[in-house]
Amino acid sequence: MKRFLIIAGTAACALVLWLVEHAVLGTDPAIRSGSSTQSVGGVAVVAVALIVGFAAWGLLALLERVTTAGRRVWTVIAAVVLVLSLLGPLGGVTGGAKLALALLHLCVGGLLLAFLPRTAAQP
């Protein structure tokens, strides 16, 4: 139950951040997709945060079963994935969009990195 709440909380935090970026600051986190641009909406932010969260949970659960250092291995993998995910915001249309998207990536990845391993069994 704790892991589910962490994932739900992460998605909620990402949505709040998107609302602040979009509604309060007026930033449109849009990305280039081929020859067109695509705006990143609140539903997409929540959906991706949930998908990433559940994938992270699944990997952590698997690593806990197959190795005694599951928490440590997961943390390294998650940190590498977070750093690599920061390449995605480079496709932002404007500097503000790039910053907004990078903050969303850091919000989701940072919260999962900070809290999900705390639920793991200690070696």
Going by C-alpha positions, the residue among 33, 30, 55 that lies closest to residue 116 is 55
- At 30 the pLDDT is 87
| Residue matched to tokens 């589910």 | 4
The 10s digit of each residue's pLDDT in 9-18 is 999 999 999 9
The CA distances from residue 11 to 7, 41, 68, 104, in Å, are 6, 13, 29, 10
Tokens of 47: 């959906």
Domain ranges, residue 67: 2-119
pLDDT in tens, 39-80: 899 999 999 999 999 999 999 999 999 998 999 999 999 999
Bigger pLDDT: 33 or 70? 70
Number of domains in the chain: 1
What 8-state DSSP symbol labels residue 92? Answer: B
